[in-house]
Amino acid sequence: MSLNPAQREAVEHDQGPMLVLAGAGSGKTRVITARIARLIERGTRPDAILGVTFTNKAAREMAERMVPLIGRERTEKVWLSTFHSFGVRFLGEESKRLGFEGGRFVIFDQGDSLGLVKDILRTEVGVTRNVDVPSLMTRISLWKNAFKGPDEIPASTFEYDAIAREVYPHYEDRMRRMHAVDFDDLVVLPVRILQQHEDVREKWRARFRYLLIDEFQDTNKSQLELVRALANSLHNVCVVGDDDQSIYGWRGAEVGNILDFEQYFPGTRVVKLEDNYRSYEQILSVANAAIAQSRGKRHGKTLRAARGLGDKVRLVTTNDATSEVEFVVNEIHDLAQNHRIPYKDMAVLYRSNGQARILEEELRAGGIPYQLFGGTQFFDRKEVKDAIAYLRVVVSTRDELSIRRVINTPPRGLGDTSLDRIAGYGKLHGLSLFEALQRAEQVPGITEPAKRGAELFTQCIEQARTSLLREGAELVPTTKRLFEDAGYTRMLSAGADKDSKRRVENFGFLMRSVERYASAPSAGKASLSVFLTRLTLRVDNEEEVAGNKVTLSSLHSSKGLEFPVVFFIGLVEGILPHSRTTDPKVNEAVLTDVDEERRLFYVGVTRAMNRLYLTRPLRRTNRGRVIPLTPTRFLGGLPPEAYEAYTGRGRERTSVQETADFAAQILAQLNAK
């Protein structure tokens, strides 16, 4: 494997902590895989190496690259996983420390957590007015990621902070009673167990001789604490990342983790990867100039192009947002038809998802195929979530949230009133909701249809549970029978409209997923619990760019991707940096700073390989009023020799002098603010 000097230094480092500052497109995956291969070739057991990434896709890519180096057998023994996948494996071994019955637990996704918070607001806190539930959940998630328990949250005068502070202990209590964990718990709970139980800590430290953490700039406080808890006395911790690409502060990422790594692990060797193999020099000069203007602390580095000079960046000014989109679509059509550039090689990036709506309309009108990256996920669709809820109740009858989701799907006469009465009866007699449903005939005020509905539901769940516990039970027929007995299959098939057919197709896809899992050689004795865990962990906003389609993506979703041609739109103040940064509201759940917004700009620019368009509208109209727009401050200070200014009309290039004048105009507008 060919390595440049900096890459080789990172690969050949033997003992002690190391920080690899890997700029965009600098070959960090090659370095990580080569380092693991070298450690194994020098005698380290594969299962003594833990490699942690943020996505399953990244973990798979690492494994695929390692197979030619060390063989499939040794590759499969290396612990390559996401933080959340590691947490599942850890809790699977140590769940007795949490008091979970039989060591089983269910994993709540974001939708489940939101549903639980809504119920707590109604039943425990008594908030009846409309509340921004996602904002409350964001606050709780940030507290957990910062490693703060319910009793560590200070009082606040901010309304939403006060409500979230009241909800948080109820949320944690309900989760534990249901033997449920959320995604944040998959990191927080292992850390708490490791910190509180010395025997567990020593066991896991002895298991791993080397730790390698990818995308370290995206780690939060709890993830940092997990790394510290697992690190043995040798401190063989290698972290790879780029502080210039730290863009997830809004979900708890701490850029200070990578900036201050040397304080956490004294004696750290620092290696900088600055040779970029992705983009041409003109693109990198724009990226370097923009990020160099950051005001906060950063590890200084400058990307160097390995591919040559390339075309100048095209900076395009249009009259308004409509003409901006028209320009982009016309240019895509021209590149595809006249330059033979496939649609899949082109992407349009934007700061906020709302910017995609007008793009979609124009692309559809132009007959250009596209795909939204970071849009609605398959597993977020109602019929899929309903089916998964049924399966989760089979795994754990304590999963009250899933019970409430499907108890009346299809209708069984069990509306909210009946269900609340049954739940109240259960609370009075120390029963779970499922146990109370089994005794529905004893609950005062419950109608006969509701009693029959409760009986039907609990019977089909118990039947499935009994079947799966039998020796030699088969997963696929059991799950099919469950949905038939529950009337769910019949309900989905009842409609004849287009939406009904789509729901049937989606449900069929889920069932085929069950079949694929059960028939896989690695499945062994197929477990419904393991299947659901795998299903939950793959719903981590990972999507594949597939087919010959233009990709539309937010800047946050684009990280880790690359495209030969990139259109970066909406480069005006208020969009980038976002108005939440420059004019925050009191109840904003998360405030980002301007430096993080600048890093977003840097990430967008460095997605481009061959050709980059930076576009901005001059004005917008609001209720008949024309409002001039200021170019984003991130365009100020860019080297004029690296770009050409264009107008959106007919894609006309301006003169060299006009380009210089344009740069001066931007600076003047920015200085006037």
Task: Write down the pLDDT at residue 37.
Answer: 95
> If we measure between CA atoms, which residue out of 128, 127, 139, 132 comes closest to residue 164?
139
Which residues neighbour 117 within 8 Å (Cβ) at sequence distance 6 or greater? 133, 136, 137, 140, 167, 171
Q: Quick check: 203 and 232 in contact, CB under 8 A?
A: no
Lowest mean pLDDT among 56-60, 388-392, 570-574: 56-60
Q: Give the mean pLDDT of 488-504.
A: 81
Number of H helices, E strands in the chain: 29, 19
User: β-pairing, 370-373 with 550-554?
Assistant: parallel
The DSSP line for 100-129 is -GGG--EEE-HHHHHHHHHHHIIIII---S
Find the radius of gyration of the CA atoms of the chain. Answer: 27
Element (H, E) at 50: strand 49-53
SS3 assignment, position 78: coil
pLDDT of residue 471: 52
- Prediction pTM value: 0.82
438 is catalytic: no
Mean pLDDT on 615-619: 93
Rounded CA-CA distance 141/123 in Å is 21
Supply the pLDDT for residue 439: 93
Of 8, 9, 29, 647, the active-site residue reads: 29
Residue 415 in contact with residue 408, Cβ under 8 Å?
yes
Is residue 214 among the annotated active site residues?
Answer: yes
Instruction: Count CB-CB contacts under 10 A for residue 624.
Output: 5
- Structure tokens of 322? 């409509």
The answer, yes or no, to whether residue 597 has pLDDT greater than 70, is: yes
pLDDT band at 329 (very low <50, low <70, confident <90, very high): very high
**Catalytic residue selected from 138, 217, 219, 245:** 245
**Interatomic CA distance for residues 408 and 456, integer angstroms:** 11
> How far is residue 636's CA from residue 633's CA, in Å, rounded to a whole number?
5
pLDDT confidence band for 498 (50 / 70 / 90): low
Phi, psi dihedrals of residue 124, rounded to the nearest 5°: -110, -40
User: Which of the four pLDDT bands, split at 50, 70 and 90, describes residue 346?
Assistant: very high
Q: Above 80 in pLDDT, residue 664?
A: no
Q: What is the pLDDT of residues 509-519, one digit of tens each?
A: 888 888 888 87
pLDDT (average), residues 460-489: 84
What pLDDT, on the 0 to 100 scale, is given for residue 501? 81
Indicate if 657 belongs to the active site.
no
Cα angle 418, 424, 430; round to 5: 135
At 98, which amino acid appears? L
Tell me the pLDDT tens digit for each residue of 114-125: 989 988 998 888
Calculate the CA dihedral of residues 281, 283, 284, 290 and round it to 10 degrees.
Answer: 140
Q: Which of 331, 305, 276, 315 is nearest to 641 (CA)?
A: 315
List, edge to edge, every strand of the sheet that includes 550-554.
Answer: 370-373, 550-554, 346-350, 563-568, 608-617, 313-318, 643-647
> Do residues 30 and 65 make contact, with C-beta atoms less than 8 angstroms apart?
yes
260 is catalytic: no
Residue 499 burial (C-beta neighbours within 10 Å; 0-12, 13-18, 19+): exposed
How many whole angstroms separate alpha carbon 51 and alpha carbon 199? 23
> What are the b/e assignments for 336-354, b being 16+ CB within 10 Å?
beeeebebbbbbbbbbeee
How far is it, in rounded angstroms, from Cα 456 to Cα 453?
5
Indicate if the pLDDT at residue 19 is higher than 90: yes
The most confident of 102-116, 277-291, 418-432, by mean pLDDT: 277-291
> How many whole angstroms separate alpha carbon 511 and alpha carbon 514?
5
Q: Does residue 368 surpass a pLDDT of 70?
A: yes
* Mean predicted lDDT score pLDDT of the chain: 87
Q: Is 272 a catalytic residue?
A: no
Given a contact cutoff of 8 angstroms between Cβ atoms, the answer to whether 322 and 328 are in contact is no
pLDDT of res. 654: 45
Dist. CA 646–CA 613, nearest whole Å: 10
What's the mean pLDDT in 35-52? 95
Q: Give CA–CA dist 581/597, Å, rounded.
A: 8
Q: How many CB atoms lie within 10 A of CB 557?
A: 18
Q: What is the dihedral of CA 423, 428, 431, 433, to 10 degrees?
A: 0
Active site residue 400: no
Q: What's the rounded Cα separation, in Å, for the pair 651 and 317?
A: 10
**H-run or E-run covering 60:** helix 56-70
Provide the pLDDT confidence category of residue 472 given band limits of 50, 70 and 90.
low
Residue 593 CB contacts under 8 Å (≥ 6 apart), including other chains? 249, 296, 581
Q: Please report which confidence band the pLDDT of residue 2 belongs to, taking 50, 70 and 90 as the band edges.
A: confident
Phi and psi of 136, rounded to 5°?
A: -65, -45
- Sign of CA pseudo-dihedral 407, 410, 416, 421: negative
SS3 for 376?
coil
Alpha helices of 121-248 — where are they, by DSSP H? 133-145, 159-177, 185-196, 198-207, 221-230
**Residue 57: band (very low, low, confident or very high) from pLDDT cuts 50, 70, 90:** confident
E strands in 221-292 = 237-241, 269-273, 275-276
Does the pLDDT at position 637 exceed 70?
A: yes
Identity of the amino acid at 148:
K
The DSSP-derived string for 536-589 is: HHH-SS-----SS-EEEEEHHHHTT--EEEEEE---BTBTTTBHHHHS--TT-S
Query: From the candidates 139, 301, 405, 607, which is the catalytic residue?
Result: 607
Of 94, 182, 184, 215, the active-site residue reads: 215
At 665 the pLDDT is 61
- Predicted confidence band at 651 (pLDDT cuts at 50, 70, 90)? very low
Q: How far apart are CA 669 and CA 639, in angstroms?
A: 17
Catalytic residue, candidates 7, 28, 243, 489? 28
Q: Are the CB atoms for 242 and 294 separated by under 8 Å?
A: no
Q: Give residue 604's pLDDT.
A: 97
Handedness of CA 434, 437, 439, 444 (dihedral sign): positive
Q: How many residues does the chain have?
A: 673
Residue 341, SS3 per DSSP: coil
Identify the band that residue 470 occupies on the pLDDT scale cut at 50, 70 and 90: low
Q: Catalytic residue, from 94, 112, 214, 345: name it.
A: 214
DSSP H helical ranges for 396-497:
400-406, 416-428, 433-438, 448-469, 475-485, 488-493
Q: Which of 28-32, 98-102, 239-243, 637-641 has the lowest mean pLDDT?
A: 98-102
Residue-level pLDDT at 584: 57
Q: What are the pLDDT digits (tens) for 381-439?
A: 888 889 999 998 998 888 888 998 999 999 988 888 888 899 899 989 889 999 999 99
Query: Is residue 650 pLDDT above 50, yes or no?
Result: no
Q: State the Cα–Cα distance between residues 492 and 505, nearest whole angstrom.
A: 10
For residue 534 the two structure tokens come to: 């795998």
- Give the number of other CB atoms < 10 A from CB of residue 653: 14
- Tell me: pLDDT of 153 over 50: yes
Give the CB-side neighbour count of residue 80, counting CA atoms within 13 A: 24
Q: Is the pLDDT of residue 652 over 80?
A: no
